[in-house]
Structure 1
Amino acid sequence: MTRIRELCLGLLLASGLAVQALAAEGTPEAVVKQIYSGKTPETKGIDLIGDAKLRAKYLSKDLAAAVKRGIDESAKSGEVGALDFDPVSDSQDPLIKDLKIEPASVQGDRAQVGVSFNRGDPKRDELVYDLMQENGQWRVSNISKKGSAEEAWSLRQMLSLK
């Protein structure tokens, strides 16, 4: 009888840990962590802007559509558009070192996640990810940079979204 009780207790504990792991994957922090998962000094990581599948997976529908419009307009005109850099690394040559992802500030179906990193120098870049619930998933609705007026930017503003 004790053996069966131990087995049941072990199964309950294991299922609880599995539920916790699945819940953690669906958090705003987990989404941002996935975006940076391939960004190391050795690799440029995922192309959130240029890859249509990744845009659909991580960006809100309106932000993904605006990014696509920007890419299409640049291709048509032959000119560099509003997105002449990688907003995930805040650079044209993505290199992320010492990545720190802050705990999310969640209010209902909206969340903000702060990210900071450097690119080999002591100065840290600080970005803010605004996320929203869309079809039961957290999606990035904006990426913005903290800093002085000259340094600060917002992806939504660059793409003329409100």
Structure 2
Amino acid sequence: NGLGAFSDPSARQRLFSRSLLRAIGAAAEIPADPFSDSSPHLVDLKVAATFENGTAATVGVDFARGDGAREHLTYALVLERREWRIDDIGYALLGGENRTLRGMISR
């Protein structure tokens, strides 16, 4: 079905925070690839910045596409059950628009 971790309960439990899992469970629609925003032809990935303050962290990631454009995503992580889990993903789109995974699934 193309939903990757969203279609695999074990992967969801390993990757996502409990709060995000509840939001995913209540979502009417889930993006096909939230990890890279379904960007075509990914050719490079760079971790741009990482910040941690105890039980929360953010990781900035730049994706290079095959057409030369770069996209920036920010992963918000929380420490749960002694492991880091994704709590949200922020997308800075090429056209200047910003959105989040939580915002997309709460519509």
> TM-score interval w.r.t. the shorter chain?
0.7 to 0.9
Match of 1:139 among 66, 70, 85: 85
- 1:96–1:48 distance in 2 versus 1, CA, 3 Å: farther
The 8 Å contact of residues 43 and 63 in structure 2, kept in 1 or not, is answered as yes
The Cα of 1:48 is off from its aligned counterpart by: 2.6
Match of 1:89 among 27, 36, 41: 36
Unpaired runs of 5+ in structure 2? none
Match of 1:158 among 91, 104, 107: 104
The structure with the largest strand share of the pair is: 2
The structure with the largest helix share of the pair is: 1
Secondary structure in structure 2 of the residue aligned to 1:101:
strand
- 2:59 match: 113
Q: Which amino acid aligns with 1:90?
A: D
The 8 Å contact of residues 89 and 95 in structure 1, kept in 2 or not, is answered as no
The Cα of 1:151 is off from its aligned counterpart by: 3.0
Secondary structure in structure 1 of the residue aligned to 2:52:
strand
- CA RMSD in angstroms, aligned pairs only: 2.6
Higher RCO (CA-CA < 8 Å; seq separation 6+): 2
Mark the structure with the bigger radius of gyration.
1
What is the percentage of aligned positions where both structures have the same residue?
A: 34
What is the alpha-carbon distance in structure 1 between the residues aligned to residue 78 and residue 4 of structure 2? 21
Matched, 1:129 2:86: no
TM-score by length of 1: 0.56
The Cα of 1:150 is off from its aligned counterpart by: 5.9
Secondary structure in structure 1 of the residue aligned to 2:103:
helix
The Cα of 1:47 is off from its aligned counterpart by: 1.8
The Cα of 1:108 is off from its aligned counterpart by: 1.6
What is the alpha-carbon distance in structure 1 between the residues aligned to residue 65 and residue 6 of structure 2? 20
- 1:152–1:103 distance in 2 versus 1, CA, 3 Å: closer
What is the alpha-carbon distance in structure 2 between the residues aligned to residue 88 and residue 148 of structure 1? 16
